[in-house]
Every structure is written in structure tokens, then in C-alpha cells.
Amino acid sequence: MRKKERYEKVIAWFQENVPVAETELHYNNPYELLIAVILSAQCTDKRVNMITPPLYKDFPTPEALAATTPEVVFEYIRSVSYPNNKAKHLVGMAKMLVNDFQSQVPDNLEDLIKLPGVGRKTANVIQSVVFNKAAMAVDTHVFRVSHRIGLVPDSCTTPFSVEKELIKNIPEELIPIAHHWLILHGRYVCQARTPKCATCGLQMMCKYFCNTYKVTKEESKAKNK
């Protein structure tokens, strides 16, 4: 299957079967989402959602968070991965929002990645989810699923190379939702150790499935009509 055809069929399947796809992190405003995404690095959304309500309640503004200390924040987030570093990042992020950005979350990559604890992936999540920009955040799920389905070649060995390939081939207006399609597919279907190939609706469009189960080109074409 040619790359263009694979993209078209995969996108069409998601549009029909997953018309609504959005972040599973709980938040009420851009500031809260920024906190949640920083905390979610190498940690599950489920765990983050468990600990953020008290954090949001006690530090409802960047000013409130900037006025506290990492030691205080640590007690709220101690059950997430790398709590010491993340506590420092959250307080530093809040201080920079207050001092440099009038307490507003920036809407562009260049400013977002200046914030402590914010790398390219986190910045792209904020751009996509909050500002609906055509930014593709590549986490472990997106990286794995993109390779397995065959949306990106094996030569894409870094998150940035995967990001560029996906953005090049997915229509700009669909990139924000496509980010969630791939994440949710990786989280619940195309899992790392035990992908649920038997029940996956993308079987005949998926390079991994066709190679693993020896699906011929003729069979794939017939079932993809």
C-alpha cells in the first residue's frame, strides 16, 4: 500500500469510528493543562488526574503557585514520577508566567519551551489542545503507533522526525485530533507489549499486522475496498 493511500484510509477509519478524540487530562483552563502536562511526563494521565484537584484548588493562579516553594508542591505530587524535579519545574514555570508573560500561557512554541519543565512535546500539546494549532506532540504512543501502522518509515528514529513526517502527510486541519487518535489508539488498542490486533479496525491498513500475519497484497486490497 502506498503511503498516500495508507494515510487516507487510516484517517477515514478514525473519522468514522473515533469522531471525538481529546485529551484525558482533567483541566479547566490553559494554566491547569500546563500543570497537568508537565506532571504527565513518564506518568499516566490517570495518576495525574488523581493528584491535580487539590493542586488546582490551592494554587488556582500562576501567582499563587509562584509564591510557594518546591518543597510544598512536592507534598501534592509525591506519587508521580520524578516529583522533586517536577515540583521545581512547576514553581519555576509559574514564576516565569508571572514575570515574563503577564500570567498568561504563551500560544507559540518558542515561548512555551522557555518555561521550566516544558519541552517540545509539552509545548505541542498546549498549542494543539488549547490553541487548536497544527502541532503534533509525539509521545511514546504516537511514536510506536506511527511506526507500526506504517505512517512513518523506519528511518524516523526520533520524535522530531516522526513529528515532521506526520505533519507533512496529515491535512493541517486534522492534526490536532489526529494527535489524540494516535495516542488513544496506542493506549487502548496498539499497546506496547500486547497489541490487540485481533480486534483492531486498522488491520488491513497496518504494516505490522500484514507483516505479522502474512497478509498478501491481494488480501489487503480486497478487504480495503
- Specify binding-site residues for [4Fe-4S] cluster: 190, 197, 200, 206
Separation of alpha carbons 113 and 126, rounded Å: 11
User: Which residues are within 8 A (CB) of 115 and not within 5 positions of it... i.e. 6 or more apart?
Assistant: 34, 92, 93, 96, 97, 106
Which residues contribute to the annotated binding site?
A: 190, 197, 200, 206
Separation of alpha carbons 68 and 94, rounded Å: 10
Is position 139 annotated as part of the catalytic site? Answer: yes
Catalytic residue among 121, 168, 217, 221: 121
Is position 154 annotated as part of the catalytic site? Answer: no
**DSSP for 184-224?**
HHHHHTS-SSS--GGG-TTGGG-HHHHHHTT--HHHHHHHT
Catalytic residue among 4, 58, 139, 214: 139
User: Which residues are within 8 A (CB) of 128 and not within 5 positions of it... i.e. 6 or more apart?
Assistant: 134, 135, 136, 137, 175, 176, 179
Radius of gyration of the chain (CA): 19
- Enumerate the active-site residues: 121, 139
